[in-house]
């Protein structure tokens, strides 16, 4: 976030590109979902955030387990980076608005998309 209009315009453009990229990536994940993928858990009401011990969060899924793979890890990292770009442009409000916008782009996948984005972007802008 900045007071410089030119820098703000660049950040806004970057956030718009990140939203578009997140939409395209979610569409690709949904279309090419392999059985057992970490993102499948969301379809079954699962949660992408995994836990180390009670009260302590490890952000993101555990890709060391047999159902995870490098494609899942790459998708996770890409989506997380898009969230960081959106946050940098407008803070938590922009991130919340982006989730709503991206979810609305594919109404048939709305619940799944919301769960994925909220899980992947859980820590964006909220960690020290």
| Rg of the chain taking only CA atoms, in angstroms | 15
The size of the chain, in residues, is: 128
Q: Is the pLDDT of residue 22 over 80?
A: yes
What is the per-residue pLDDT for 53?
A: 42
What is the per-residue pLDDT for 67?
A: 47
Please, what is the Cα angle at 11 between 7 and 14, to 5 degrees? 140
Residues of the chain with pLDDT > 70, as a percent, come to 69
Tens of pLDDT, residues 31-86: 876 534 667 666 666 666 544 444 445 555 655 554 456 777 788 889 999 999 99
Q: Where are the domains of the chain?
A: 5-120
pTM value is 0.76
Q: What is the rounded CA–CA span in Å between residue 98 and residue 104?
A: 10
Question: What integer is the mean pLDDT of 83-93?
Answer: 93
pLDDT level of residue 23 (50, 70, 90 thresholds): very high
User: Cα dihedral sign for 26, 118, 37, 76?
Assistant: positive
């Amino acid at each position: 976030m900045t007071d410089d209009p030119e820098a703000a315009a660049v950040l806004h453009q970057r956030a718009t590109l990140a939203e578009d990229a997140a939409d395209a990536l979610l569409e690709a994940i949904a279309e090419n979902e392999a059985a057992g993928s970490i993102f499948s858990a969301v379809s079954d009401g699962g949660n992408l955030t995994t836990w180390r011990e009670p009260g302590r969060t490890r952000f993101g899924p555990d890709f060391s387990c047999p159902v995870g793979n490098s494609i899942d890890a790459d998708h996770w990292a890409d989506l997380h980076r898009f969230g960081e770009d959106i946050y940098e442009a407008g803070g938590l409000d922009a991130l919340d608005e982006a989730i709503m916008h991206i979810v609305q782009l594919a109404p048939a996948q709305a619940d799944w998309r919301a769960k994925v984005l909220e899980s992947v972007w859980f820590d964006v802008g909220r960690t020290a």
